[in-house]
């Protein structure tokens, strides 16, 4: 969309991002005179009224959370039949970018982990599960505040995956060069295509915590199939290999989060 395009009360300023679920623009709320982020969802979602309805329901639930560590959702609507989501406009960087830039101090690891857990707790207490927690969905603002992104989009993506999990997985495994970017942060139950609950988020959080401490993914392998197999059957390397000074209590937390069986993980954030 070009600069100046009007979507309801919002005026587009510029495109600031794009992904598998839609395009994100910076915009102005002309009624409140504030800067916002506006995400327009992709066309194949528009044609599935059930998915749009689920997304709207999840967006409304997320907007009711009102937590400092969760992206604030302001509005939801449709433009030319394309659903869009309006949220606060953040300045900073994704956790994934931070991890690729430099090693993270243990103090920063603990502080960011605390904020992630705080946001997840607020969501889980409202019955909202993220299902796609990963560094790309964790945003660090300029004042070092954590914001968890895309609760509604993660729910929508999960519903789509449920319908054709076997077909999608088979295609990704058997097609050379095809890698599913999120697979490295899936819980074992997601890899198996089973029903997930908040304990899946706890596993994914453990993977993020492991990566913040070590600077590398816990189950990174050469292919999607090998990564999925590692999540199901292997244990991550000892944290002390990468960081000999790691706090033993922190290592125990990571280990507990990464239990293969959800019953053996922490049962709440």
| Structure-block tokens of residue 32 | 């409140």
Residue 143 falls in the annotated catalytic set: no
Residue 198 C-beta-side C-alpha neighbours within 13 Å: 15
User: In Å, what is the CA distance from 128 to each residue of 45, 60, 209, 220?
Assistant: 21, 11, 21, 28
The helix (H) or strand (E) run that includes residue 166 is: helix 165-174
Long-range contacts of 30-35 (CB under 8 A, 24+ apart): 35/89
- The contacts of residue 255 (CB under 8 Å, 6+ apart) are none
Query: What is the residue-wise DSSP string for 16-75?
Result: EEE-SSEEEEEEEETTTTEEEEEEEEPHHHHT-HHHHHHHHHHHHHHHTT--TTBPPEEE
Residue entry with tokens 């790309």: 136
The catalytically annotated residue of 132, 162, 201, 222 is 132
The helix (H) or strand (E) run that includes residue 10 is: strand 10-18
Cβ pair 120, 172 in contact under 8 A: no
Residue 109 buriedness (CB in 10 A; 0-12 / 13-18 / 19+): buried
Cβ pair 236, 219 in contact under 8 A: yes
List the catalytic residues: 132
């Amino acid at each position: 969309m070009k600069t100046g395009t009007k979507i309801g009360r919002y005026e587009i300023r510029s495109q600031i991002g794009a992904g598998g679920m839609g395009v994100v623009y910076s915009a102005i709320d002309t009624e409140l005179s504030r800067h916002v982020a506006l995400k327009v969802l992709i066309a194949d979602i528009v044609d599935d009224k059930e998915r749009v309805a689920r997304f709207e329901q999840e967006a409304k639930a997320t907007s009711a959370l009102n937590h400092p560590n969760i992206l604030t959702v302001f509005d939801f609507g449709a433009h030319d039949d394309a659903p869009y989501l309006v949220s606060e406009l953040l300045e900073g960087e994704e956790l994934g970018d931070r991890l690729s830039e430099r090693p993270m101090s243990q103090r920063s690891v603990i502080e960011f982990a605390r904020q992630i857990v705080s946001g997840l707790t607020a969501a889980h207490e409202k019955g909202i599960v993220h299902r796609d927690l990963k560094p790309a969905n964790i945003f660090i603002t300029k004042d070092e505040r954590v914001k968890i992104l895309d609760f509604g989009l993660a729910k929508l993506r999960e519903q789509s995956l449920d319908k054709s999990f076997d077909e999608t997985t088979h295609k990704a495994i058997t097609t050379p060069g095809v890698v599913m970017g999120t697979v490295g942060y899936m819980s074992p139950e997601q890899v198996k295509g089973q029903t997930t609950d908040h304990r899946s988020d706890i596993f994914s959080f453990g993977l993020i915590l492991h990566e913040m401490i070590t600077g590398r993914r816990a189950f990174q392998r050469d292919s999607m199939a090998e990564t999925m197999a590692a999540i199901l059957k292997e244990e991550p390397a000892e944290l002390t290999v990468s960081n000999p000074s790691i706090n033993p209590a922190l290592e125990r937390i990571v280990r507990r989060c990464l239990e293969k069986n959800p019953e053996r993980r922490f049962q709440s954030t």
